[in-house]
Amino acid sequence: MLELKHVTKHYNLGTVNELCLFQDFNLVVPDRQFVSVVGSNGSGKTSMLNLICGSIDMDQGQILANGMDITGKKDFERHQSIGRVYQDPAKGTCPSMTILENMSIADHKGKGYGLGQGKNKGKAEEYRKMLRSLNLGLEDKLEVKAGALSGGQRQALALLMATMTPIEFLILDEHTAALDPKTAELVMELTGKIVREKQVTTIMVTHNLRYAVEYGDRLLMMHQGSIVMDCAGEEKAKLKVEDILQTFNEISIECGN
């Protein structure tokens, strides 16, 4: 379970550009829930993910993971139980290292990086199997550098790598936004499959309202640092794109977009 309690976050505190993003923001995500988050630019979606992952500091409030206070923990400590896929496909893999090397690093997350050999024949076969399940032909490219792959291939690989080891939370930060519609569809299907298989608590930020409606068992709409729409369960299952589009338009008109 992930809890954000009374979170307050200002940007540029003490300057003329001071911006209050979150004021007493609260959110509870129960175990194994798949939450999709939508909202306009600047509504605080990515900031929320950054706060959870410790990439930015908050002014006040608490973040609890499974009841444990992780507010004071550094970003890298939090990532030990968090898998994250970024909008930029370049961020999830190492471009100058081969797929095999990338996967070997990801596979070793949380096990300490000692002086054992990174390459392992048995493991390579295992990785090949995982890659085959992506249906992107990556299983024959174990020795190809990740930088030589297309954006979609890299993002699929990043998603696979982020979920290779047991993690408690999966954070998806607009991970299909930089891909062409067809590849985005593919990566999204893969996301749904992985989340279902691994039963991992997931928060997915997306600009694609259809994905938000189709995937996940809870939908949040954010606006100016607060949640303006929150539906889960039956209500979420009945939700249609038109319904949220209307709410979305209302808030957008409000701020003059």
Partner 1 sequence: MTLILSVLEQGFIYGVMALGVYITYKILDFPDLTVDGSFPMGAAIGAVMITNGIHPILTLFASFTAGAFAGILTGIIHVKCKVRDLLSGIIMMTALYTINLRITGKANVPLYHKVTVFENKVTESFLGGVLTPVRTLLVILVITIGVKYLLDWYLSTHSGYLLRAVGDNDTFVTSMGVEKGRVKIIGLAIANGLVALGGCLFAQQQRFFDISMGTGTVVIGLASVIIGTSLLKKVTLLRITTSVIVGSVFYKACVALALRYMKVIHLQSKDLKLVTSVLFLVILIAAQERKKKVKINA
Residue owning tokens 């499974």? 66
Site string for partner 1, 26-55 (x = CB under 8 A): ------------------------------
Q: How far apart are the first and last CA of the chain?
A: 35
Residue 91 touching partner 1 (CB under 8 A): yes
**253 part of the interface to partner 1, by CB under 8 A:** no
Shortest distance (Å) from residue 108 CB to partner 1: 5
Using the contact rule CB under 8 A, the part of the chain among 105-113, 183-191, 212-220, 233-241 near partner 1 is 105-113
Residue 145 has phi, psi (to 5 degrees) of -70, 140
CA dist., res. 114 & res. 134, Å (int): 30
- Compute the distance between CA of residue 38 and CA of residue 212 in angstroms, rounded to an integer: 7
**Side chain identity, residue 46:** T
Of 92 and 216, the one with the shorter C-beta distance to partner 1 is 92
Q: Name the one range near partner 1 by CB under 8 A: 31-39, 76-84, 177-185, 235-243.
A: 76-84
Residue 90 binds partner 1, judged by CB under 8 A: yes
Q: What is the largest CA-CA distance in the chain?
A: 59
Whose Cβ is closer to partner 1: residue 12's or residue 76's? 76
Candidates 14, 67, 72, 114: give the one binding partner 1 (CB under 8 A).
114
CA distances 117 to 104, 122, 231, Å, are 10, 12, 48
Closest distance of CB 106 from partner 1, Å:
7
Give yes or no for residue 104 binding partner 1 (CB under 8 A): yes
**Which range, of 10-18, 29-37, 82-90, 200-208, touches partner 1 by CB under 8 A?**
82-90
Given 26, 28, 66, 119, the residue binding partner 1 (CB under 8 A):
119
- Binding residue (CB under 8 A) for partner 1 from 44, 89, 92, 152: 92
The b-or-e profile of 38-62 (16+ CB within 10 A means b, else e) is: bbbebbbbbbbbbbbbbeeebeebe
Q: Which residues make beta-bridge pairs with 85?
A: 172
The answer to the question of residue 208 lying near partner 1 (CB under 8 A) is no
75 scored as a contact of partner 1 (CB under 8 A): yes
Nearest-CA neighbor of 130 among 118, 121, 139?
139
**What distance in Å separates the CA atoms of residue 105 and residue 98, rounded to the nearest whole number?**
11
Tokens standing for residue 15: 């300057």
Is residue 80 a contact residue for partner 1 (CB under 8 A)? yes
> Whole-number minimum distance, CB 169 to partner 1, in Å?
12
Query: Could you give the C-alpha distances from 64 to 48, 67, 159, 177, 183, in angstroms and in order?
Result: 14, 5, 25, 29, 35
Applying CB under 8 A, the residues found at the interface with partner 1 are 74-77, 79-80, 83-84, 86, 90-97, 101, 104-106, 108-110, 112-119, 162
